[in-house]
């Protein structure tokens, strides 16, 4: 008879093998460019539904699978007793519905702000007569699937490989980012957000924004690259500067 731990390890190994086989077979059978074009041609409502639902499922999985009493207690073991930590955890669970309510709102605000930034770039490039704000909004929603995949990668990392972890580790880690060059506590809080933001997924996000402008809006590739680099990147830098300023004020 296998113990629960051994059974879990066996299931993880089998899952990884199946995932590798699936990814390899998918890469062999599917033309990536054709798949992207088909995806970006979905209707705006369909894209919004996929992204929002995917984020809600990912949040539910994280709360249900990754976060339990022990994980919660490990983060506050030096400040709280186990009973007090358990009380806080139960309170955390009772108000978890707030996350599901506000996640769609936060995502829509994010899509709107990024769309406005990109459309400023469209205007500066004198492409506003060919590109509508609605089409840019659709491209932004579609491109956000990159961050959904980043969240899924993070979930799988902690579920399959991380071992012993706590809430601080969950908040600190970001897959394929510069933050992984450091351990929790080695980096000042002010630098956490910039180091998390500089990651491979974000680079792919920029490429998808440019791809969407080029293929959906029929803008020349050089022009779409210029729009993204001249609008989104300055906005991102300003946002990071604001977050760093708040971090200084909060943790000083």
Task: Please give the average per-residue pLDDT across 220-249, as a whole number.
Answer: 90
Q: Which residue has the higher pLDDT, 81 or 39?
A: 39
d(CA 36, CA 54): 18
Do residues 127 and 210 both lie within one domain? yes
Question: Are 160 and 39 contained in the same domain?
Answer: yes
Structure confidence at residue 129 as a pLDDT band (50, 70, 90): confident
pLDDT tens, position by position, 6-34: 655 665 666 666 666 666 565 555 577 78
Highest mean pLDDT: which range of 22-36, 77-91, 224-238: 224-238
| DSSP state letter for 144 | T
Q: Are residues 13 and 100 in the same domain?
A: no
Q: Name the 3-class secondary structure at 95.
A: coil
The model carries a pTM of 0.83
Range of the domain at 232: 31-251
Number of domains the chain contains: 2
Whether 180 and 87 share a structural domain: yes
User: How far apart (Å, rounded) are the C-alpha atoms in residues 122 and 102?
Assistant: 30
| Non-local CB neighbours of 221 within 8 Å, separated by 6+ positions | 210, 214
Strand partners, 199: 177
Q: What is the predicted pLDDT for the residue at 187?
A: 87
Q: Is the pLDDT of residue 153 over 70?
A: yes
Write down the pLDDT at residue 185: 82
With beta carbons less than 8 A apart as the criterion, state whether 230 and 120 touch.
Answer: no
Assess whether 7 and 118 both reside in one domain: no
Residues 37 and 66 grouped into a single domain = yes
pLDDT of residue 246 exceeding 90: no
More confident residue, 252 or 173: 173
Buried b (16+ CB within 10 A) or exposed e, 60-82: eebeeebbeeebbbbbbeeeeee
CA dist 239 and 110 (Å) reads 12
């Amino acid at each position: 008879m296998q113990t629960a731990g051994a059974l879990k390890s066996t299931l993880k190994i089998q899952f990884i093998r199946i995932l590798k086989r699936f990814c390899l077979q998918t890469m062999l059978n599917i033309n990536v460019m054709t798949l992207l074009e088909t995806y970006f041609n979905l209707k705006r409502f369909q894209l919004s539904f996929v992204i929002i639902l995917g984020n809600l499922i990912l949040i539910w999985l994280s709360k249900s699978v990754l976060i339990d009493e022990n994980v919660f207690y490990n983060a506050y073991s030096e400040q709280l007793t186990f009973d007090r930590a358990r009380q806080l955890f139960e309170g955390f669970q009772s108000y978890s519905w707030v996350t599901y309510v506000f996640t769609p709102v936060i995502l829509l605000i994010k899509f709107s702000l990024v769309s406005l930034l990109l459309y400023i770039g469209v205007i500066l490039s004198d492409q506003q007569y060919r590109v509508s704000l609605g089409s840019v909004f659709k491209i932004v929603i579609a491109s956000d699937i990159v961050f959904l995949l980043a969240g899924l990668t993070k979930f799988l990392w902690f579920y399959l490989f991380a071992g012993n972890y706590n809430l601080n580790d969950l908040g600190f880690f970001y897959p394929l980012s510069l933050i992984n060059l450091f351990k929790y506590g080695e980096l000042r809080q002010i630098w956490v957000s910039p180091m998390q933001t500089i990651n491979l997924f974000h680079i792919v996000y920029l490429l998808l924004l440019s791809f969407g402008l080029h293929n959906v809006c029929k803008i020349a590739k050089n022009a779409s690259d210029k729009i993204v680099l001249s609008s989104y990147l300055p906005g991102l830098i300003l946002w990071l500067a604001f977050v760093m300023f708040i971090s200084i004020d909060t943790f000083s």
